[in-house]
Amino acid sequence: MKGPHNIWRLIRTAGTFERTGAMEVVLDQLDAPRSLRVLARILGWPFKWLGYEGDPALPPVTRALTALGPSYIKFGQILSTRPDFVGAELAMQLRVLQDKLPPFPTELARQTVQRELGMPSDTIFREFSEPVAAASIAQVHQARIAGDGTKVAVKVLRPGIAKAFRKDIDAFYLGAWLMETVAPSTRRLRPSDVIAHFDATVEQELDLRAEAAAASEFAANTARDDGFTVPSVDWNLSGREMMTLEWAEGIPMADLDAIDAAGHDRVALADRVMQMFLRHALRDGYFHADMHQGNLKIAPNGDIVALDFGIMGRLDEYTRRVYAEILMGFIRKDYHRVAEVHFEAGYVPADRDVDLFAQALRSVGEPIFGMDASRISMGRLLAYLFEVTERFGMETRTELILLQRTMVVVEGVARSLNPHMNIWNAARPEVERYIRENLGPKAFARDLYRTTQVLARFGPHLPRAVEDVLKGTRQTVVVPSARQNIGSSAAWFLAGAGVTALIGALAIWA
């Protein structure tokens, strides 16, 4: 929060929000207390004339963020994944925020290439086009590598973008601090944590080596997925400020006329988009979290090609199992099982009534299943589910919110290809496959085997640990103490671990 520029930036931000009509929308969505509304008016109304006008054709908040520039556009995109913070209605508006800006000169991109790779761009690339796409953080050029003429996509950071983002993020931290100080009730929304999450996300996007690593990991995970392709990374031609990928030929997913003209089956494509997303989220726990139409192409052979790996999502193995059971419970209309899964996972406090929770879940599922197939939405289901679980004391889980947000986007893409698509019919095979492979006897044996592997690594330490525990127990037998309790617990743990290891070994051997 250093420097007077932070105060100036906040004043100009407030003035822009006043001028575009976004201020009232944001304050209402945040259910802002009177003290925060007064502060906003003090910062905004007198300086309305300093605010940017923006594009009147856009909704107020989208208009304000677009006018304020790259940092605000990216911040709006991040907030679209946090309906718990900005509210469902505003989050929906922010999902359509377009991350497009005028390109910067190609000569500056060439200078970045030379700085990163240590030689002139003409030496490395025999062709280097004008920008083919430009966003808030970087732009893309088509190029051909000198020598073999391989066609590649070269992504280059905007000059000075890291410094510009740093200034704005400092101002965001100041704004969050003012918000928490003036209106303590807003601390429940944890504004500073939201800014810290944004800071970490942008820090990663400003290092294209991180995106290259994400693309490489995603490509390795999906290498055997028929009908889905991820361009490979050229690590020799990538660095902090630039990244080189193989060029992906294809039709933009949004160009339905071209897709039809090429003879691709849009119904099959719609099912595949949904199934691939679920497969990656459930099987790998690593999914593309920005799968809008601008980041997808249809290759000449009909494969879906994914692009832009700046925003990726992760789910740990336990969360994936819980998520799959929740989805399957809804598919089967087994609301009591869905409720039990929430309690077993610790998502809902144990002192709540499981039957009442199951009844509340029925109120979520039944209206959706009563809809026409073309209107059924898993994204909407999860949004309603979060509303209900919040009433029952479930804490916000950002990884599930990102999953829900991505699912809404993927559903939109799938329905643009096939407006009459039945989302549940498309999703069911992937969910059932995951449950069959990860929640049955095979999965139980695999879990036990992993447990034995962990215990085996500590095997050489176990005899001494047991001896120390027993000695400690003998020394403290007269006067019970915390040490005795710890020793006793450790002994029971070791005994249990031994039994678990034996069962695991027998199960695997059998």
At residue 300, does pLDDT exceed 80?
yes
Q: Which comes out higher in pLDDT, residue 302 or 448? A: 302
Return the structure tokens found at 432: 């059932």
Return the pLDDT at 285.
92
pLDDT at 495: 43
**Residue 489: pLDDT above 60?**
no
Q: Say yes or no to pLDDT of 492 above 70.
A: no
The CA distance from 280 to 288, in Å, is 8
Pairwise pLDDT comparison (388 vs 296), residue with the higher score: 296
HEC states along 267-333? HHHHHHHHHHHHHHHHHHCEEECCCCHHHEEECCCCCEEECCCCCEEECCHHHHHHHHHHHHHHHCC
pLDDT digit string, tens, across residues 325-339: 887 888 788 889 988
Q: Could you tell me what percent of the chain has a pLDDT over 90?
A: 29
pTM exceeds 0.85 for this model:
no
What pLDDT score does 197 carry?
77
Q: What is the mean pLDDT of residues 433-456?
A: 71
- Please give the pLDDT value at position 303: 96
Element (H, E) at 133: strand 125-134
- Greater pLDDT, 510 or 257: 257
Q: Please confirm, yes or no, whether 265 is among the known catalytic residues.
A: no
**pLDDT at res. 410:** 86
- Residues 5/44, Cβ–Cβ less than 8 Å: no
pLDDT at position 350 over 80:
yes
Q: Which of 410, 406, 405, 403 is nearest to 426 (CA)?
A: 410
Length of the chain: 510
Check pLDDT > 80 for residue 340. Answer: yes
Tell me, what's the pLDDT at 444?
Answer: 63
β-strand pairing of 228-229 with 304-306: parallel
Q: Round to whole Å and give the CA distance between 246 and 234.
A: 7
Task: Write down the catalytic residue from 168, 170, 225, 290.
Answer: 290
Residue predicted with more confidence, 260 or 182? 260
Using a 10 angstrom Cβ sphere, with 0-12 exposed, 13-18 middle and 19 or more buried, the burial of residue 311 is buried
pLDDT given at position 240: 93
Both tokens assigned to 372? 């026409």
Q: What's the mean per-residue pLDDT of the chain?
A: 80
pLDDT score at 486 = 41
Q: What letter represents residue 21's amino acid?
A: G
- Average pLDDT over every residue of 311-321: 87
Structure tokens at 1: 């929060």
**Residue 38 reports pLDDT greater than 90:** no
pLDDT value of position 449: 67
| Cα four-point dihedral sign 451, 453, 455, 457 | negative
Answer whether residue 275 shows pLDDT above 80.
yes
Identity of the highest mean pLDDT range in 79-93, 211-225, 459-473: 211-225
| Residue 223, pLDDT score | 94
Q: What pLDDT score does 217 carry?
A: 96
- CB burial of 15-33 (b: ≥16 within 10 Å; e: otherwise) equals bbbbbbebbebbbebbebe
Please give the pLDDT value at position 219: 96
Q: Which residue has the higher pLDDT, 316 or 467?
A: 316
Q: Which among 94-108, 302-316, 422-436, 440-454 has the top mean pLDDT? A: 302-316
Give per-residue pLDDT as tens, 120-178.
999 999 999 999 988 888 999 999 999 888 999 999 999 988 888 888 888 888 888 88
More confident residue, 313 or 77: 313
| Under 8 Å between Cβ of 256 and 416 | yes
pLDDT tens figures, 356-415: 989 988 887 777 666 655 666 666 666 677 777 777 877 666 666 677 778 878 888 888
Q: Is the pLDDT of residue 487 over 60?
A: no
